[in-house]
């Protein structure tokens, strides 16, 4: 993380103009011009961008502490010539008069969770056994939570919302051109492939129609009683015929 990034975030968070930034630098013993401050606050890819050195950043942070807490009796502490995230984090904590729980709440507002033991390790001396280096992600989330707390209606937030809405409109405009003026189409959705419907068959159970043999057909039974009686009467002999057939002639 660059010193210029921290300067930009602090400037937008507290809504400082170039003259105010010059005054804060003067409190830390650094004499600069508004033109130089303007080059520090430009984006990294801008041709007029100028890098802020560690010594200049340390002087600005010392002036920021005096701006927020007031000047103490005695000489101003000397500014460091080499900075890291731990020193920047500690100076911001002193300037804003934050306790550990306040910092944890700011990190939580930026959707970053951390324990108190992990946080206190950043503010220990480098030769301490529990000392831990502060990563860019942690300092970035702290600055983000700080900005959310102090600039709910700031110009920076309104500008970021405007840029997001503008980008969304440009995306819709490009999608509208690609689809030849069809507003109901959704260019970001891939068309579904036409696939045949697959019916699942359990391999453990075979089709009964293929394995079971065909059953023999049953005899049909007629329900017409008259027809059945006529058929049975024709088949059976009469009573007289049965008597003559069974009886033998007397001798």
Which three-class secondary structure string do you get for the chain?
CCHHHHHHHHHHHHCCCHHHHHHHHHHCCCCCCHHHHHHHCCCCCCCCCCCCCHHHHHHHHHHHHHHHHCCCCCCCCCCCCCCCHHHHHHHHHHHHCCCHHHHHHHHHHCCCCCCHHHHHHHHCCCCCCCCCCCCHHHHHHHHHHHHHHHCCCCHHHHHHHHHHHHHHHHHHHHHHHHCCCCCCCCCCCCCCCCCCCCCCCCCCCCCHHHHCCCCCCCCCCCCCHHHHHHHHHHHCCCHHHHHHHHCCCCC
Of 8-17, 28-37, 123-132, 160-169, where does mean pLDDT reach its minimum? 160-169
Residue 157 has pLDDT above 60, yes or no: no
The CA distance from 106 to 143, in Å, is 8
Please state, for a pLDDT cut of 70, what percent of the chain lies above it. 61
Cα Dmax for the chain: 170
- Predicted pLDDT of residue 251: 46
- Predicted pLDDT of residue 85: 94
- Please name the residue that has the structure tokens 């007289």: 240
Residue 57 CB contacts under 8 Å (≥ 6 apart), including other chains: 3, 6, 7, 83, 88
| pLDDT (average), residues 161-183 | 63
Q: How far from chain centre, in Å, is Cα 246?
A: 107
| pLDDT (average), residues 229-234 | 52
- Predicted pLDDT of residue 84: 94
Helix (H, G, I), strand (E, B) or coil at 48: coil
> Given pLDDT bands bounded at 50, 70 and 90, which one contains residue 78?
confident
> Given pLDDT bands bounded at 50, 70 and 90, which one contains residue 233?
low
Residue 25 has pLDDT above 50, yes or no: yes
Residue of 19, 15, 29 lying closest to 66 (CA atoms): 29
The CA distance from 96 to 68, in Å, is 7
Highest-confidence range of 82-96, 171-185, 213-227, by mean pLDDT? 82-96
**pLDDT: which is higher, 148 or 57:** 57
Residue 113 CB contacts under 8 Å (≥ 6 apart), including other chains: 107
HSE-up of residue 179 (Cα within 13 Å, Cβ side): 15
| pLDDT (average), residues 126-132 | 91
Please state, for a pLDDT cut of 90, what percent of the chain lies above it. 46
| pLDDT (average), residues 215-241 | 56
- Predicted pLDDT of residue 189: 54
pLDDT digits (tens, 9 = 90+) for 178-224: 666 555 555 555 556 666 676 767 776 655 555 556 666 666 665 55
> Given pLDDT bands bounded at 50, 70 and 90, which one contains residue 91?
very high
- Please name the residue that has the structure tokens 């200049």: 56
- Predicted pLDDT of residue 75: 76
Of 129-133, 156-160, 220-224, where does mean pLDDT reach its minimum? 156-160
């Amino acid at each position: 993380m660059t010193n210029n990034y921290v300067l930009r975030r602090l400037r937008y968070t507290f809504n400082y103009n170039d003259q105010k930034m010059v005054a804060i630098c003067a409190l830390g013993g650094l004499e600069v011009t508004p033109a130089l401050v303007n080059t520090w606050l430009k984006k990294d890819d801008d041709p007029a961008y100028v890098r802020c050195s560690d010594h200049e950043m340390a002087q600005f942070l010392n002036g920021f502490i005096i701006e927020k807490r007031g000047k103490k009796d005695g000489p101003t502490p000397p500014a460091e010539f080499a900075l890291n995230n731990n020193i920047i984090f500690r100076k911001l904590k002193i300037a804003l008069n934050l306790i550990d729980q306040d910092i944890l709440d700011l990190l939580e507002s930026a959707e970053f969770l951390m324990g108190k033991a992990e946080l206190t390790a950043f503010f220990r001396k480098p030769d301490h056994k529990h000392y831990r280096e502060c990563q860019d992600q942690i300092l970035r989330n702290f600055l983000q939570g700080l900005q959310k707390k102090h600039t709910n209606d700031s110009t920076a937030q309104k500008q970021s919302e405007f840029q997001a809405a503008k980008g969304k409109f440009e995306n819709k405009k490009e999608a509208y051109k690609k689809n030849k003026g069809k507003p109901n189409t959704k260019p970001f959705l891939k068309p579904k492939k036409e696939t045949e419907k697959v019916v699942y068959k359990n391999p453990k159970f075979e089709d009964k129609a293929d394995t079971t043999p065909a059953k023999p057909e049953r005899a049909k039974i007629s329900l017409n009683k008259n027809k059945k009686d006529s058929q049975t009467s024709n088949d059976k002999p009469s009573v007289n015929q049965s008597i003559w057939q069974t009886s033998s002639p007397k001798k």
